[in-house]
Amino acid sequence: MERFELRRQDFRLDDDQQAVREGFGDFFTKQVPSSLVRDAQPLGFDADLWQRVVAMGATSMGLPEEAGGDGATLVDLVLVAEELGRVVAPVPLVSHVVASRLLARAGGAGELLAAAAEGERVVTLALQPGVGGNRQLVPDAAVARDVLAWSAEGLTLHTLPEPAAHVPNQGSTPLAWFDPAAGERTVLAAGPGAEALFRTAVAEWKLLTGAALVGIAESALQLGVEFAKSRRTLGVAIGALQGVAFPLADVVSEISGARNLVRKAAWYAEHEPATRPDLPLVAFVHAARAATEAAWVSAHTQGGLGFTVEADISLFFLRAKGWSVLGGDPGADRRHIAAALLAAV
């Protein structure tokens, strides 16, 4: 592993990227007050909001131009996902974008891809390899009739008559059990190529979810910081006390690193996918931990109030884990990351 390579470390966003970030930031902030998030519980899907997200171009922007997209880069997509996470928007955008990109790469199912680009049909991805016909929990499958899955047979599109039944869960996500025997099945690709497509899609899902987790962490932090500025004890603001301030300083350190790591992973995945294929996993593991820590520290900063359902921090606390856990045990990612290092040294 070359640790002294001459590379730029320029994390500044260019004007277009800045416009994407600000455009979606404004959009999500205006369109998604916390009341909307609460109203969408327990399913975690707001059909109206979804239409508006589609109208923003979010479902098509990441597709190649031939597939009706704008060829937005993964850097653009992580910027959007961070803004989505900031307001914990109840829309299946991450799974949908990743599954649509996978569809486009695999080829076939052109009609579905067109409908997906328009947001008319929601597509999702089973993140675990299918073995022996075992069922698995799939993110957003409670609002998607079309599920992409990979098994020894290949990469398969499962089209169900209607989305599977929602299973209520801590993060209020549209989670559902996926039965690989269910629905109409079309094999889109087979062999090692199919597996590579699947692994890339899972990495993209982790990357975009990592970005959303950075957004969650940032909002959680802000709630804690605002509380710490105004809440008083012994005649001073609690935020003046190091026992309160230092954990918040730790949190902002974790978040700022996770944000750059997500962007770095996105940049490599876009421009040099073969150089550091482990980076999306690195970013996901770090972002998941940052979000877990941010949510807990912020909730705790708010004392008993931070433990109540009424407090907005509850929305972020429950989703910090509720969204990251969908990616499976980070231990598996860490083993991949270490294996990549062993291969490189």
Partner 1 sequence: MDLGTVELTPEQEAFRQEVRAFLDEIVTEEVHEHERRTGDGFHVGVHLALGSRGWLFPEWPVADGGAGLDRVCQRVLALELARRHVPMVTHSTTGLVWAAVELSADPELAARLKPEVAAGRVRFCLGYSDPEGGSDIAGATLRAVRDGDEWVLNGSKLWTTGAHNCQYTFLITRTDPEAPKHKGLTMFLVPLDSPGVEIQAIHTYGGERTNAVYYTDVHVSDTHRMGDVNAGWATLQGPLSAEHGAGRPDDGLSDVGMAMGTREFEAAIDAAARWAKHTTRPDGTLVADDPAFLDRLGALVVEAEASRVTPGPMGRVKSSLSYIAGIAELVDLVGPEALLAHGADGAIEGGVLDYAHRFAQGTATYGGTTEVFKGMIAQHVLGLPRLNLPGSKQWVR
How far is residue 160 from each of residues 50, 130, 190, measured CA to CA in Å? 21, 17, 21
Of residues 190 and 241, the one with the C-beta less far from partner 1: 241
Shortest distance in whole angstroms from residue 284 CB to partner 1: 9
Site for partner 1 in 198-227 (CB under 8 A): 225
Hey, is 42 helix, strand or coil? Answer: coil
Cα 316 to Cα 94: distance, rounded to the nearest angstrom = 17
Of residues 148 and 211, the one with the C-beta less far from partner 1: 211
Number of residues that bind partner 1 (CB under 8 A): 59
Q: Which of 13, 114, 115, 167 binds partner 1 (CB under 8 A)?
A: 13
Contact between 19 and partner 1 per CB under 8 A: no
Specify the stretch interacting with partner 1 by CB under 8 A; choose among 24-32, 38-46, 130-138, 239-247: 239-247
Q: Which two tokens stand for residue 85?
A: 């996470």
C-alpha Rg value of the chain to the nearest Å:
20
Report the C-alpha dihedral over residues 34, 35, 39, 40, rounded to 10 degrees: -30
Of residues 145 and 321, the one with the C-beta less far from partner 1: 321
Cα 101 to Cα 148: distance, rounded to the nearest angstrom = 11
Element (H, E) at 116: helix 110-117
Q: Which of 37, 94, 106, 248 binds partner 1 (CB under 8 A)?
A: 248
Site for partner 1 in 262-281 (CB under 8 A): 263-264, 267-268, 271-272, 278-279
Contact between 237 and partner 1 per CB under 8 A: yes
Shortest distance in whole angstroms from residue 101 CB to partner 1: 20
Q: Which two tokens stand for residue 29?
A: 């902030």
Q: Which two tokens stand for residue 333?
A: 């990612």
130 CB-near residues (< 8 Å, 6+ apart): 136, 149, 150, 151, 180
Binding footprint of partner 1 on the chain (CB under 8 A): 1, 3-14, 17, 75, 225, 228-229, 236-237, 239-242, 245-246, 248-250, 252-254, 256-258, 260-261, 263-264, 267-268, 271-272, 278-279, 282, 285-286, 331, 333-339, 341-342, 345
